[in-house]
Amino acid sequence: MKRRWLWLLCTTIVTAFPLRPAAAAAISTEVPLPGGTVALARALDVDPVPDRGRFIFEITRLVYGVPEGSRLQADAFLTAVREASRRGRDGAPDRRPADVVPVPLSAELWSSAIFRRKVALEDLVVAIVADRSAALLCHGLASLDDETLAYFADHPALLTRIYEHSAPLFAAFSDGLQVRDDRIVLPGGEDAQPLWEALLLEKTTRPDRFVQQLFELNDGRLAFLYDVIAQLDPARRAFALGVWMPDATIRVERFKELAHGFDSLREWHVRTQPFGRVSHDPAMMFWRVAVGSDGAPLEPSSRALWQHAFHGDDPLGDLAATDSEPFDAAWLMSTIESAEVRVRAARLDQLGFGTRVFSEMGRSASQNNDVLTAIRGVARYRMLMLTLERIGIRTPALYAAAARRADQLAAFEGRQGFELQAQFQGALALIAGMVRVRTIDSVRAGALIAQLVALPLEQGRFGGSIATFVREDLVSGTAPADSLELRVLRAISGPASAEPSNRPIIWEGQSYRLDLGAAELRRLQRVRDKQDGVPLDVAVELTGISRALANRNLSSDELTVLISRLGRALEDVPQRSRHDEEVDLASGFGVAASEHDALQKIIDELGRAERARDLKRAARLSEPLGELADQVLAHVLLSIAYAMEIGDPDSTVLLAGDVSRRHDFGFNQKSRELRMRAAWAVPRQDVSPGMPWRVSGSLLALDVGLAPLSLRRVNFERVLEAPKITSNEREAFALSVSLINPFALRDADLDTIADAIATGRRRLQALSRDGHDLDPIADQLRLQGWRRRALRWTLANEPERASSLLSLTELLSLGGARLGELNAWGMAGVTLDGCLCSRLTPLGAWPILLGRPQLGLVAVGVADLHLQVAMILKELHLPSALAKVVLSAAVQDYIDEVSPTDAADWLTMVRTAWMVSPERVEDYMAAATAVGPLMLATDTIQ
């Protein structure tokens, strides 16, 4: 009886645990690496050497994240290792000093399930790195949490299957996998279960089969979908899963349709480039969509509206359909991601713009023709729409009116079109500049823009109406004793500071005061002097004289006075040299006529009319004089717009004089559609063979096109090597400096930033060595699986280095700061969010930023230099408004010095930013005292 009872007990135990081995398999192993991490990294041509806690994760990514043949030294080393492995080990064991690095799973499991041969513990790292599939499997395993890794350790057959069939896909998309108690834990919880089980035809209670289906069906595209959803914030995840839809059956159908959209993804090269991502893929689509807390899309969300916005031919449009059914993830996928890359980018810009600007309108936004016109306008008049957003306009009718005016201007070509665009865009650029420096607010700006877009356009000319607008409306209320140009320059220079203060600033024994406006006015005046152009007053004067000549009651005495006025105006119109005329080619239609010669000719003709007492003949000259006035005004507004953004008055760009005359609105484009878009495209510097340097695109947001000119080099002592970061990343860093608005920075921000980062570091230092209390912090920061694993290992083995695994933005949030309230200190949002704005990238964004070097997105996540400068300004008791001056030099040095392992090595970029010291900031401050905005307490400016 006793024996039978023992037999039954044993049988029960075996039945209860049929899949468990006698002892739980190890989920991680401390592996000695002979020669250390430095030796292996050098052999693989990796520099800098990754931290030990993330060594295996980074090495496998760096070696196999690029096509074979891209790293010649690494390929040669690995070939030698593989050849030695085929011959078998021989000779004495490697007894060089070893570093210990963590590797997922045990050496025994790697030997039995993967390599099918015995691999010694000290050989394990090199053996993994030398085998592509093993390395990619290891990379994916390093992304898993402990419980999930334990499941894989207990299922060696699943490891073998992944190794043989889907290692690249597992490396790319394993991060979102979670297994608990032999059950897949889905992103989205129970709401997601029927969706995934219907899609994969496998239960979540069979994780091995579920994982196999996930990574093998449709060549891994379903794994991509799974990973994208796992990385989303809860609200967007609910949108993607359709949780906001009340009908469960429809949710399943639409989720299948969403997955079907992933089946047809273009540029799918994950097996050969597992860590690369295509531009504007579904992950970026979900990033742009705006949703409520329940996952429902924010307005405007009508499919009818967006269908018209994406596909309509009429640039203005009419929302005839009344269908208000909201779009869902599947509809967006089929509408946006099915297009080629440029169309995808344009539609994502439209999607982000529509919800950023009009979401507060609620349901009425989806039924508003003006909203439709504005959204369509992003594709055709991009900088016009984005500039109105930047100014703070939220009235759909004003966007629509501006779009209609842009459409009218598109009908004119050649020099006539050039002058119309320059006048309209130049006046709008002045308004935007006045808002930026807080001379006017967005309400006043909206009223001015409404006046500007309503100005009459007769026979293809503004006929002096913009000159009158500038004189009577734009700078109304300013000191009338000043010249008109000085009044305009003061208006776009702004006040002394956004935070008026009489507190003196003591620097190097001198007493200074902060005066942003005075420094900017001084800079603008120097640039205008170097441009050697016509003063704004002359252009307006010519307009007034032209109208006076047209007066039917003009007398001979009045004509004499007008001729005299023209003579005085002529003195301020410089004669252009032949060299000036030869470089005036980039506008697309050849050399411009000399304004001086044209005005002199009109004066001569008027003189003859005066002597003949032929007032009718004089009156007929009002038309050519009016045309000349418009031409002069166009060039003056171009020049002032450039002066606002050209940066250093000693810039080499100004050696060629007034480079604004070369501006290219795209009139050399062949089709009207291309010309229309080019005139409002993102401005960019352009150098073509046989053509001088110029800027192509819109005159608006020139700070984007001229961003590199916002940087200045102060260190000329060393020989510079080629920058180690991509050109797109360099441009992103420069653009981030250009978009910083000193008037948006607050001294209180310095305290907030410094205190929060210090608190974040203390919280990290207070974590236990075993890391059992890490998860709440990791959840708050939305850390990926590999980062949690690396941080936990570092806490246990190198606790003093733990904070170096986080960015300052993450420490800032960990210390309790609200990132959204400190966006003025952030990076350029142009590429990621589509706005002309600065943003501190939200937590959890790294999966979106990585793998897209063609967009330079990694730089968008590295706001550490900005935050480091903020902390140093606090330490030195300097005002926050000096940050832009300091960063203009600091970022140039940073670009010259930073040396990441590759375009995805954001951590090296972060750590390089921390190297900026108070001493270096003191060097950068020289410009602030030399040319402003720190002015000697006794200094004045006229």
Span 466-491, average pLDDT: 89
End-to-end alpha carbon distance in the chain: 111
User: Residue 455 CB: number of other CB atoms within 10 A?
Assistant: 17
pLDDT at residue 95, as a whole number: 65
Question: How do residues 549-599 score in pLDDT, each as one tens digit?
Answer: 998 888 999 999 999 999 999 999 988 765 555 445 555 555 567 899 999
Question: How do residues 744-754 score in pLDDT, each as one tens digit?
Answer: 999 999 999 99
Helices H, strands E: what count in the chain?
A: 46, 9
| Residue 297 DSSP SS3 | strand
Report the distance separating Cα 538 and Cα 808, nearest Å: 52
pLDDT at residue 21, as a whole number: 40
Contact 78, 130 (CB under 8 A): yes
- Nearest partner of 372 among 442, 434, 436, 312, judged by Cα: 312
pLDDT at residue 264, as a whole number: 80
Span 183-209, average pLDDT: 96
pLDDT at residue 18, as a whole number: 36
3-state DSSP helix/strand/coil % of the chain, to nearest 5 = 60, 5, 35
pLDDT at residue 87, as a whole number: 74
Report the distance separating Cα 424 and Cα 534, nearest Å: 18
Contacts of 459 (CB under 8 A, 6+ apart): none
More confident residue, 72 or 469: 469
Q: Please, which residues bridge with residue 839 across strands?
A: 827
Question: How do residues 766-783 score in pLDDT, each as one tens digit?
Answer: 999 988 899 999 999 999
pLDDT at residue 575, as a whole number: 85
| Residue 726 DSSP SS3 | coil
pLDDT at residue 22, as a whole number: 36
Span 400-417, average pLDDT: 93
pLDDT > 80? residue 942? no
Average pLDDT value over all residues in the chain? 90
Write down how long the chain is.
942
- Global pTM? 0.93
pLDDT at residue 430, as a whole number: 98
Report the distance separating Cα 59 and Cα 354, nearest Å: 42
Contact 21, 154 (CB under 8 A): yes
pLDDT at residue 551, as a whole number: 87
Span 244-253, average pLDDT: 96
Contact 671, 417 (CB under 8 A): no
Place of tokens 């059914």: 325
Question: How do residues 104-138 score in pLDDT, each as one tens digit?
Answer: 999 999 999 999 999 999 999 999 999 999 999 99
- Nearest partner of 932 among 616, 614, 519, 656, judged by Cα: 519
Place of tokens 């004045």: 940
Place of tokens 């005016």: 405
pLDDT at residue 688, as a whole number: 77
Phi, psi of 741 (to 5 degrees): -110, 110
pLDDT > 90? residue 180? yes
Most confident listed range (255-269, 639-653, 708-722, 903-917) = 903-917
pLDDT at residue 507, as a whole number: 85
pLDDT > 70? residue 23? no
Report the distance separating Cα 149 and Cα 178, nearest Å: 9
- Could you tell me the two tokens for 563? 């001729």
Q: Provide the percentage of residues in the chain whose pLDDT is more than 90.
A: 75
Span 412-439, average pLDDT: 96
Task: Kindly give the pairing relationship between strand 505-507 and strand 827-828.
Answer: unpaired
Instruction: Output 447-455 pairs: Cβ under 8 A, ≥24 positions apart.
Output: 448/473, 448/474, 449/388, 449/391, 449/393, 449/398, 449/402, 450/398, 450/401, 452/424, 452/427, 452/428, 453/398, 453/401, 453/402, 453/404, 453/405, 454/401
65, 71, 138, 272, 853 from 68: Cα distances, Å = 9, 7, 19, 9, 18
pLDDT at residue 776, as a whole number: 95
Task: Kindly give the pairing relationship between strand 684-686 and strand 510-514.
Answer: unpaired
Q: Provide the percentage of residues in the chain whose pLDDT is more than 70.
A: 92
E strands of 788-875, at which residues?
A: 827-828, 838-839
Question: How do residues 783-815 score in pLDDT, each as one tens digit?
Answer: 999 999 999 999 999 999 999 999 999 999 999
pLDDT > 60? residue 77? yes
Q: Residue 62 — pLDDT band, cuts 50, 70, 90?
A: very high
Question: How do residues 432-457 score in pLDDT, each as one tens digit?
Answer: 999 999 999 999 999 999 999 999 99
pLDDT > 90? residue 470? yes
461, 484, 569, 572, 593 from 541: Cα distances, Å = 17, 10, 8, 11, 20
pLDDT at residue 36, as a whole number: 94
Contact 515, 935 (CB under 8 A): yes
pLDDT at residue 654, as a whole number: 85
Span 136-147, average pLDDT: 96
Span 684-708, average pLDDT: 90
Sign for the pseudo-dihedral over CA of 260, 265, 269, 275: negative
pLDDT at residue 928, as a whole number: 79
pLDDT at residue 71, as a whole number: 82
pLDDT at residue 651, as a whole number: 82
More confident residue, 85 or 260: 260
